[in-house]
Structure 1
């Protein structure tokens, strides 16, 4: 009773062990960015900000709102040893580092899921190539597998998902012959649009693709209406739990993405080398904030933050596996493990919370390292990306759904270049010349 984010068993333990009395402000789930902007503009910013949004980090850095942390890191015990050089590189600008980056501990991102019973009804046909994928979608539609309202491929958020992957569009700016090129204006993009428009015209893609959000798409999948889907690893549990509750007798399974049009295996993107950013507003108590964070990484605090107290909230088996007790569900505010989470702790929670069926199979197919994940804030990217993305979404969506013909692609390329694309290419290549 009377507990909140600043008064509970775990945070009181953190205060006792670190010697720092920290007041926590939790941003609202909706409009969190606006809340951060308001507090930064208030004239009384916090001593540290925590965010997983690289755009927030880039904006605040480019605006000169953050203090570099370099002079404080040598005095740390943990931070200076657990953050690899590649992760530091992603928060570097002009030789200084404007965040303490938490290294990535999640090596699964997205994947392809399929209704397993439909594959079995077809005798488990190969799903190795784009042709195999299309043949599966055709059979689902023609044979009405799963029922009259089954959607062969559920696409959403203006993305064709795995089919963009097969055409090499899994990153916006890709290395090619020693420089970064835009995949959005490439011939591969044109081919992907022609391919996708054909699928849509033949009703192999959800006819509601244009208005599908992630939430709407998930609802269709949890109702068993979708045969094939591109999604994140956490969704697999959500889908299968829903199907199990409804006792429908089938589930979704992760499958390998198809070979690319170049005949090579395709992989979904690895997550950024930075999981989250700790940002320190200029004029704040940066030294104290860095030392507080460094102390929280120590095992004696980190284990309590992650699991509670051994013997009460968890036990460790002979093979080192951590098993939660029923009492673990009574600990409130375990959100603090987001401060700094190791890969082992994260994988333990994946298993404990029942996410293994999504995380581990998808991790086999998440191996593509996105080049710009290692880039520091680039002003031109911050300035133009939103408008360029809107432009791409408009043209790609209308071409795929048949509102426009593929002839409009050349117009898109011209507009993309004139709307900041050329400036972005110049800027990202200036950085890439120092990185490659």
Structure 2
């Protein structure tokens, strides 16, 4: 295994050599609020990277990965961000579903589902949230019943990122009649191209629609497509946030730093930095970003152990709040002109898109309220919240 610096140099060289020709125009495409941009071309780019062995680098070699260490994975994500490489289309399969199957799946499930993720031949979406059950799985109402060799799924999912582009969805459903709260849930792998599945895009504040509602009306999946034992879905699902908050967050912070530096330059250029309150907020944003990075590095011990523990919620609540406040600061720097679209019919600039997209940061992947409960109960050991 190469050293971290050797690995970083390899990835940097690979990106420089390949983000050329037909791929050169993909730099910085497909970020938050722009997930629709050049989707087919970005899919082609990711398959090109897969053919060169540059996907799923942190997975074990026996499952198609590179077996990269945590430090090497950090280097990969940082170099990918520094190269302005396009936003990934296979994030949910590579970072969420794949590690879940490595940890909890059967040999047959790994053999069936992991190779198409490595090759970017099948895309996945996450089906956990419902209209009345977002960050709290206790309120899940979607049900699945066993019918011979199938599970039959009925219910609704919402806020399902890129479901309209995915072939599969992992779904937490209630499989034990009469069960309540976290009991009786199961983790199912459900195809989206069968009967009984309807996908409806949700138009967001940015005017785009990568979020979706997914309706299951008697949708079927094979019996062996349950991860873990029936009724054990909460344990499997609770591992997902740990995988999601792993090393890739350090790459995301490269983008955060670029946004902040651009905003500082804009404030200096339009005179907003002359306002002492704006200067103070910019300084606080800089120190906040340094703190986020230090906290993320501190959490890497948990990643190295397999997945971050509940204290990973500290990092999530910190960066989400910081980024939302950066969006608010961007609008203050823009002033009244920031309230006007750049063009017809609804063309936004990067700062306006930052403001609108960052409003959701404190809700998706576990709301701030849920994160505080996890920190209180599972990190600090405080008494659990009284529930009816």
TM-score higher than 0.5: no
Greater RCO (CA < 8 Å, at least 6 residues apart): 1
Please identify the structure whose Cα radius of gyration is greater: 1
Bin of the TM-score, shorter chain as denominator length:
under 0.3
TM-score (normalizing by structure 1): 0.23
TM-score (normalizing by structure 2): 0.25
